[in-house]
Protein backbone atom coordinates (compact mmCIF):
# COMPACT_ATOMS: atom_id res chain seq x y z
CA UNK A 1 0.00 0.00 0.00
CA UNK A 2 1.53 3.27 -1.04
CA UNK A 3 1.51 6.47 0.98
CA UNK A 4 -1.37 8.12 -0.91
CA UNK A 5 -3.69 5.17 -0.34
CA UNK A 6 -2.77 5.05 3.34
CA UNK A 7 -3.44 8.78 3.67
CA UNK A 8 -6.89 8.45 2.15
CA UNK A 9 -7.75 5.57 4.50
CA UNK A 10 -6.63 7.51 7.55
CA UNK A 11 -8.62 10.58 6.42
CA UNK A 12 -11.77 8.50 6.01
CA UNK A 13 -11.33 6.87 9.41
CA UNK A 14 -10.85 10.32 11.01
CA UNK A 15 -14.08 11.66 9.50
CA UNK A 16 -15.96 8.54 10.59
CA UNK A 17 -14.68 8.86 14.17
CA UNK A 18 -15.61 12.58 14.28
CA UNK A 19 -19.12 11.81 13.00
CA UNK A 20 -19.56 9.04 15.56
CA UNK A 21 -18.35 11.26 18.38
CA UNK A 22 -20.63 14.15 17.28
CA UNK A 23 -23.60 11.80 17.08
CA UNK A 24 -22.82 10.47 20.54
CA UNK A 25 -22.61 13.99 21.98
CA UNK A 26 -25.95 14.90 20.37
CA UNK A 27 -27.65 11.78 21.73
CA UNK A 28 -26.21 12.40 25.19
CA UNK A 29 -27.40 16.03 25.11
CA UNK A 30 -30.93 15.03 24.12
CA UNK A 31 -31.01 12.35 26.80
CA UNK A 32 -29.83 14.86 29.43
CA UNK A 33 -32.41 17.45 28.40
CA UNK A 34 -35.16 14.85 28.56
CA UNK A 35 -34.17 13.95 32.13
CA UNK A 36 -32.84 10.48 31.40
CA UNK A 37 -30.00 10.92 33.90
CA UNK A 38 -32.29 12.17 36.69
CA UNK A 39 -34.14 10.12 39.28
CA UNK A 40 -37.67 9.29 38.16
CA UNK A 41 -40.74 10.07 40.30
CA UNK A 42 -43.59 7.65 40.14
CA UNK A 43 -46.93 9.19 38.99
CA UNK A 44 -49.43 10.11 41.68
CA UNK A 45 -49.37 12.14 44.88
CA UNK A 46 -46.09 12.27 46.75
CA UNK A 47 -46.54 13.62 50.23
CA UNK A 48 -43.91 16.13 51.26
CA UNK A 49 -41.70 14.88 54.07
CA UNK A 50 -43.20 15.48 57.50
CA UNK A 51 -46.70 16.50 56.25
CA UNK A 52 -48.61 14.60 58.89
CA UNK A 53 -51.45 15.67 61.14
CA UNK A 54 -50.06 17.07 64.35
CA UNK A 55 -52.88 18.20 66.57
CA UNK A 56 -54.60 20.62 64.18
CA UNK A 57 -58.38 20.93 64.36
CA UNK A 58 -60.23 19.09 61.62
CA UNK A 59 -63.73 18.94 60.22
CA UNK A 60 -65.60 16.47 58.05
CA UNK A 61 -66.93 17.11 54.55
CA UNK A 62 -70.65 16.35 54.53
CA UNK A 63 -73.62 16.47 52.20
CA UNK A 64 -76.48 18.92 52.62
CA UNK A 65 -79.76 19.61 50.84
CA UNK A 66 -79.89 23.13 49.46
CA UNK A 67 -82.78 25.04 47.93
CA UNK A 68 -81.90 26.08 44.38
CA UNK A 69 -82.77 29.61 43.31
CA UNK A 70 -82.76 30.61 39.66
CA UNK A 71 -82.69 34.22 38.51
CA UNK A 72 -84.72 35.91 35.80
CA UNK A 73 -83.34 39.27 34.67
CA UNK A 74 -85.89 42.02 34.18
CA UNK A 75 -86.70 45.74 34.25
CA UNK A 76 -88.92 47.78 36.55
CA UNK A 77 -91.90 49.23 34.69
CA UNK A 78 -95.09 51.00 35.76
CA UNK A 79 -98.35 49.27 34.92
CA UNK A 80 -100.14 52.63 35.26
CA UNK A 81 -98.44 55.15 32.98
CA UNK A 82 -100.12 58.35 31.75
CA UNK A 83 -99.15 60.58 28.85
CA UNK A 84 -100.32 64.15 29.52
CA UNK A 85 -101.19 66.12 26.38
CA UNK A 86 -103.43 69.00 25.33
CA UNK A 87 -106.84 68.78 23.68
CA UNK A 88 -106.45 72.25 22.20
CA UNK A 89 -104.00 73.86 19.85
CA UNK A 90 -102.73 76.76 21.94
CA UNK A 91 -99.58 78.34 23.29
CA UNK A 92 -98.31 76.91 26.57
CA UNK A 93 -98.32 79.68 29.18
CA UNK A 94 -97.03 77.70 32.15
CA UNK A 95 -95.91 74.21 33.18
CA UNK A 96 -96.05 73.99 36.96
CA UNK A 97 -94.05 70.75 37.43
CA UNK A 98 -90.71 69.26 36.41
CA UNK A 99 -89.39 65.73 35.97
CA UNK A 100 -89.18 63.97 39.32
CA UNK A 101 -91.97 65.94 41.00
CA UNK A 102 -94.66 64.10 42.93
CA UNK A 103 -98.17 65.24 42.00
CA UNK A 104 -101.61 64.61 43.45
CA UNK A 105 -104.84 63.90 41.61
CA UNK A 106 -106.47 67.16 40.47
CA UNK A 107 -103.28 69.22 40.77
CA UNK A 108 -102.77 71.81 38.02
CA UNK A 109 -99.97 70.77 35.67
CA UNK A 110 -100.23 72.99 32.58
CA UNK A 111 -101.91 76.29 31.71
CA UNK A 112 -102.55 77.17 28.06
CA UNK A 113 -103.23 80.58 26.52
CA UNK A 114 -107.04 80.86 26.76
CA UNK A 115 -107.65 84.34 25.33
CA UNK A 116 -109.19 82.99 22.16
CA UNK A 117 -111.56 80.74 24.08
CA UNK A 118 -112.46 83.51 26.52
CA UNK A 119 -113.48 85.60 23.49
CA UNK A 120 -115.50 82.71 22.05
CA UNK A 121 -117.26 82.26 25.39
CA UNK A 122 -118.17 85.95 25.52
CA UNK A 123 -119.59 85.77 21.97
CA UNK A 124 -121.57 82.63 22.81
CA UNK A 125 -123.05 84.31 25.89
CA UNK A 126 -124.07 87.39 23.90
CA UNK A 127 -125.69 85.17 21.27
CA UNK A 128 -127.54 83.35 24.06
CA UNK A 129 -128.78 86.64 25.49
CA UNK A 130 -130.10 87.61 22.06
CA UNK A 131 -131.80 84.23 21.63
CA UNK A 132 -133.38 84.56 25.08
CA UNK A 133 -134.67 88.04 24.25
CA UNK A 134 -136.13 86.78 20.97
CA UNK A 135 -137.84 83.92 22.78
CA UNK A 136 -139.35 86.24 25.38
CA UNK A 137 -140.57 88.58 22.61
CA UNK A 138 -142.03 85.68 20.62
CA UNK A 139 -143.85 84.33 23.70
CA UNK A 140 -145.40 87.77 24.42
CA UNK A 141 -146.49 88.08 20.77
CA UNK A 142 -147.96 84.57 20.90
CA UNK A 143 -149.93 85.44 24.03
CA UNK A 144 -151.42 88.55 22.33
CA UNK A 145 -152.35 86.62 19.19
CA UNK A 146 -153.87 83.86 21.30
CA UNK A 147 -155.96 86.43 23.18
CA UNK A 148 -157.14 88.04 19.93
CA UNK A 149 -158.03 84.67 18.46
CA UNK A 150 -160.28 83.93 21.40
CA UNK A 151 -162.04 87.16 20.53
CA UNK A 152 -162.11 86.15 16.85
CA UNK A 153 -159.89 89.15 16.12
CA UNK A 154 -156.95 87.15 14.76
CA UNK A 155 -156.81 84.62 12.00
CA UNK A 156 -155.68 81.02 12.32
CA UNK A 157 -152.67 81.82 10.18
CA UNK A 158 -151.56 84.57 12.59
CA UNK A 159 -151.89 82.13 15.47
CA UNK A 160 -149.85 79.45 13.68
CA UNK A 161 -147.12 81.94 12.77
CA UNK A 162 -146.88 83.18 16.34
CA UNK A 163 -146.70 79.60 17.65
CA UNK A 164 -143.96 78.75 15.11
CA UNK A 165 -141.96 81.83 16.11
CA UNK A 166 -142.05 80.68 19.73
CA UNK A 167 -140.73 77.21 18.79
CA UNK A 168 -137.98 78.69 16.62
CA UNK A 169 -136.83 81.07 19.31
CA UNK A 170 -136.87 78.27 21.90
CA UNK A 171 -134.68 76.17 19.60
CA UNK A 172 -132.35 79.15 19.01
CA UNK A 173 -132.05 79.68 22.75
CA UNK A 174 -131.30 75.98 23.34
CA UNK A 175 -128.66 76.11 20.61
CA UNK A 176 -127.15 79.19 22.22
CA UNK A 177 -127.06 77.49 25.62
CA UNK A 178 -125.34 74.45 24.06
CA UNK A 179 -122.77 76.70 22.41
CA UNK A 180 -122.03 78.33 25.78
CA UNK A 181 -121.57 74.92 27.44
CA UNK A 182 -119.31 73.69 24.63
CA UNK A 183 -117.19 76.83 24.82
CA UNK A 184 -116.93 76.52 28.60
CA UNK A 185 -115.75 72.91 28.19
CA UNK A 186 -113.17 73.98 25.59
CA UNK A 187 -112.04 76.74 27.94
CA UNK A 188 -111.65 74.21 30.76
CA UNK A 189 -109.19 72.29 28.54
CA UNK A 190 -106.84 75.27 28.78
CA UNK A 191 -106.02 74.17 32.33
CA UNK A 192 -104.66 70.62 32.44
CA UNK A 193 -104.77 68.78 35.77
CA UNK A 194 -103.43 65.43 36.94
CA UNK A 195 -105.88 62.61 36.33
CA UNK A 196 -104.22 60.56 39.08
CA UNK A 197 -101.52 60.83 41.69
CA UNK A 198 -98.01 59.87 40.63
CA UNK A 199 -94.53 61.02 39.72
CA UNK A 200 -93.50 63.07 36.68
CA UNK A 201 -90.80 61.18 34.78
CA UNK A 202 -90.53 63.18 31.57
CA UNK A 203 -91.22 66.71 30.31
CA UNK A 204 -91.13 67.20 26.54
CA UNK A 205 -92.32 70.82 26.15
CA UNK A 206 -91.63 74.24 27.61
CA UNK A 207 -93.64 77.45 28.05
CA UNK A 208 -93.96 79.24 24.72
CA UNK A 209 -94.27 76.03 22.71
CA UNK A 210 -97.42 75.38 20.70
CA UNK A 211 -99.37 72.51 22.20
CA UNK A 212 -100.79 70.15 19.61
CA UNK A 213 -103.76 67.89 20.42
CA UNK A 214 -102.42 64.47 21.41
CA UNK A 215 -98.78 65.54 21.45
CA UNK A 216 -97.08 64.46 24.74
CA UNK A 217 -96.12 67.25 27.12
CA UNK A 218 -95.60 65.33 30.37
CA UNK A 219 -95.28 61.67 31.29
CA UNK A 220 -96.60 60.55 34.66
CA UNK A 221 -96.58 57.13 36.28
CA UNK A 222 -98.11 55.78 39.44
CA UNK A 223 -95.19 54.70 41.60
CA UNK A 224 -97.45 52.30 43.48
CA UNK A 225 -97.87 50.34 40.25
CA UNK A 226 -94.19 49.51 39.71
CA UNK A 227 -93.53 45.92 38.83
CA UNK A 228 -90.68 43.81 37.53
CA UNK A 229 -91.19 42.41 34.07
CA UNK A 230 -88.86 39.51 33.37
CA UNK A 231 -88.74 36.64 30.85
CA UNK A 232 -88.79 33.37 32.78
CA UNK A 233 -87.73 30.04 31.30
CA UNK A 234 -90.74 27.95 30.46
CA UNK A 235 -89.87 25.07 32.84
CA UNK A 236 -90.06 27.57 35.73
CA UNK A 237 -92.87 29.80 34.43
CA UNK A 238 -95.36 26.93 34.12
CA UNK A 239 -95.01 26.36 37.88
CA UNK A 240 -95.87 29.96 38.76
CA UNK A 241 -99.35 31.42 39.16
CA UNK A 242 -100.87 34.80 39.89
CA UNK A 243 -100.61 35.65 43.58
CA UNK A 244 -97.31 33.83 44.20
CA UNK A 245 -94.83 35.81 46.29
CA UNK A 246 -91.23 35.96 45.08
CA UNK A 247 -88.14 37.91 46.07
CA UNK A 248 -86.81 40.60 43.75
CA UNK A 249 -83.23 41.79 44.15
CA UNK A 250 -82.42 45.32 42.96
CA UNK A 251 -78.64 45.42 42.47
CA UNK A 252 -78.36 49.21 42.50
CA UNK A 253 -79.82 49.33 46.02
CA UNK A 254 -78.42 45.98 47.15
CA UNK A 255 -81.85 45.23 48.59
CA UNK A 256 -84.40 42.46 48.25
CA UNK A 257 -88.12 43.29 47.93
CA UNK A 258 -91.05 40.90 48.29
CA UNK A 259 -93.05 40.96 45.06
CA UNK A 260 -96.36 39.39 44.05
CA UNK A 261 -96.92 37.80 40.65
CA UNK A 262 -99.62 39.84 38.91
CA UNK A 263 -99.62 38.41 35.44
CA UNK A 264 -98.04 35.69 33.33
CA UNK A 265 -98.39 36.48 29.64
CA UNK A 266 -100.02 33.32 28.22
CA UNK A 267 -97.72 33.05 25.23
CA UNK A 268 -94.15 31.78 25.12
CA UNK A 269 -91.42 33.57 23.22
CA UNK A 270 -90.25 30.96 20.71
CA UNK A 271 -86.56 31.98 20.35
CA UNK A 272 -85.90 32.16 24.10
CA UNK A 273 -88.48 29.58 25.26
CA UNK A 274 -89.65 31.88 28.00
CA UNK A 275 -92.81 33.52 29.35
CA UNK A 276 -93.05 37.17 30.39
CA UNK A 277 -93.80 37.32 34.12
CA UNK A 278 -94.92 40.57 35.78
CA UNK A 279 -94.51 40.88 39.56
CA UNK A 280 -95.73 43.96 41.45
CA UNK A 281 -93.41 45.62 43.95
CA UNK A 282 -94.24 47.47 47.18
CA UNK A 283 -94.16 51.27 47.10
CA UNK A 284 -90.70 52.63 47.84
CA UNK A 285 -89.14 56.06 47.42
CA UNK A 286 -85.94 54.34 46.26
CA UNK A 287 -87.44 52.49 43.31
CA UNK A 288 -87.63 54.08 39.87
CA UNK A 289 -88.97 52.96 36.56
CA UNK A 290 -86.32 51.43 34.32
CA UNK A 291 -84.15 50.01 37.12
CA UNK A 292 -82.53 46.59 36.79
CA UNK A 293 -83.84 43.73 38.91
CA UNK A 294 -83.57 39.98 39.39
CA UNK A 295 -86.60 37.78 39.99
CA UNK A 296 -85.52 34.99 42.36
CA UNK A 297 -87.47 31.81 41.59
CA UNK A 298 -87.26 28.65 43.73
CA UNK A 299 -86.28 25.72 41.50
CA UNK A 300 -86.37 22.80 43.94
CA UNK A 301 -83.53 21.42 46.03
CA UNK A 302 -80.27 19.60 45.33
CA UNK A 303 -77.60 17.81 47.33
CA UNK A 304 -74.09 19.17 47.46
CA UNK A 305 -70.91 18.91 49.50
CA UNK A 306 -70.21 21.40 52.23
CA UNK A 307 -67.19 22.10 54.41
CA UNK A 308 -66.03 24.57 57.03
CA UNK A 309 -64.90 27.88 55.50
CA UNK A 310 -61.80 27.83 57.75
CA UNK A 311 -60.56 24.76 55.88
CA UNK A 312 -60.09 26.70 52.63
CA UNK A 313 -56.63 28.11 51.95
CA UNK A 314 -56.43 30.88 49.36
CA UNK A 315 -53.23 31.17 47.36
CA UNK A 316 -53.70 33.88 44.74
CA UNK A 317 -56.81 32.99 42.78
CA UNK A 318 -56.61 29.31 43.73
CA UNK A 319 -58.31 27.52 46.60
CA UNK A 320 -56.88 24.52 48.44
CA UNK A 321 -57.79 22.30 51.36
CA UNK A 322 -55.56 20.01 53.41
CA UNK A 323 -57.15 16.55 53.44
CA UNK A 324 -56.21 14.09 56.19
CA UNK A 325 -55.67 10.62 54.68
CA UNK A 326 -56.44 7.45 56.68
CA UNK A 327 -52.77 7.03 57.59
CA UNK A 328 -52.59 10.56 59.03
CA UNK A 329 -50.76 12.07 56.07
CA UNK A 330 -52.00 15.55 55.10
CA UNK A 331 -52.61 15.96 51.39
CA UNK A 332 -53.13 19.39 49.87
CA UNK A 333 -55.75 19.44 47.11
CA UNK A 334 -57.01 22.06 44.70
CA UNK A 335 -60.76 22.55 45.03
CA UNK A 336 -63.49 24.52 43.30
CA UNK A 337 -65.87 26.22 45.70
CA UNK A 338 -69.44 27.35 45.15
CA UNK A 339 -71.58 29.84 46.99
CA UNK A 340 -71.59 30.48 50.72
CA UNK A 341 -74.20 28.56 52.64
CA UNK A 342 -74.98 29.13 56.28
CA UNK A 343 -72.44 31.32 58.14
CA UNK A 344 -69.07 29.56 58.28
CA UNK A 345 -69.94 26.90 55.72
CA UNK A 346 -68.77 26.76 52.10
CA UNK A 347 -70.21 24.82 49.16
CA UNK A 348 -67.54 22.80 47.36
CA UNK A 349 -68.04 21.57 43.80
CA UNK A 350 -64.95 19.41 43.29
CA UNK A 351 -61.73 18.25 44.94
CA UNK A 352 -63.03 16.37 47.98
CA UNK A 353 -65.44 13.54 48.77
CA UNK A 354 -68.09 13.21 51.42
CA UNK A 355 -66.76 11.96 54.76
CA UNK A 356 -63.16 13.13 54.25
CA UNK A 357 -61.47 15.06 57.04
CA UNK A 358 -59.97 18.48 56.31
CA UNK A 359 -57.62 20.57 58.43
CA UNK A 360 -58.97 23.84 59.82
CA UNK A 361 -56.67 26.86 59.55
CA UNK A 362 -56.55 30.13 61.41
CA UNK A 363 -58.19 32.73 59.16
CA UNK A 364 -55.28 35.09 59.84
CA UNK A 365 -52.80 32.70 58.23
CA UNK A 366 -54.70 32.28 54.96
CA UNK A 367 -52.83 33.55 51.94
CA UNK A 368 -49.46 32.75 53.57
CA UNK A 369 -49.61 28.99 53.21
Q: Which domains does the chain have, with CATH numbers?
A: 58-65+302-365 (2.40.420.20), 71-79+224-300 (2.40.30.170), 81-219 (2.40.50.100)
Residue 228 confidence (pLDDT) above 90 = yes
Residue 318 confidence (pLDDT) above 50 = yes
| Mean pLDDT rounded to a whole number for the chain | 85
Residue 340 confidence (pLDDT) above 90 = no
Question: What average pLDDT does the segment 183-204 reach?
Answer: 90
Which residue did the predictor score with more confidence, 307 or 256?
Answer: 256
Residue 124 confidence (pLDDT) above 80 = yes
Q: What is the 3-state secondary structure (H, E, C) of 11-36?
A: HHHHHHHHHHHHHHHHHHHHHHHCCC
Of the chain, the percentage scoring pLDDT greater than 90 comes to: 35
Dist CA 19 CA 10 (whole Å): 14
Task: Give residue-wise pLDDT tens across range 71-118.
Answer: 899 999 888 888 899 999 999 999 999 988 889 999 999 999 999 999
Residue 207 confidence (pLDDT) above 90 = yes
Q: Determine the pLDDT at residue 363.
A: 47
- Identify which of 62-66, 252-256, 303-307, 334-338 has the greatest average pLDDT: 252-256
Q: Determine the pLDDT at residue 300.
A: 76
Task: Give residue-wise pLDDT tens across range 243-260.
Answer: 999 999 999 999 999 999
Which residue did the predictor score with more confidence, 47 or 336?
Answer: 336
Amino acid sequence: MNKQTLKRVLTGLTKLVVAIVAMGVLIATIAWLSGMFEQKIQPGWQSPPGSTLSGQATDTVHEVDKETIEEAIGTLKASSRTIVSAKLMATIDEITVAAGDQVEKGQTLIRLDDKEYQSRLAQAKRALEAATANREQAEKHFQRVQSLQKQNAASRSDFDNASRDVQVTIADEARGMQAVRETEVMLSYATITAAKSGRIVDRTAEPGDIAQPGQPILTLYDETSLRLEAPVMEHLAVKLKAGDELDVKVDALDRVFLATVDEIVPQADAPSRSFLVKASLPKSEDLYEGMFGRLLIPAGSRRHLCLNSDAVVHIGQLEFVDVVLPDGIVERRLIKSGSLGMPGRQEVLSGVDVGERVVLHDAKSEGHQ
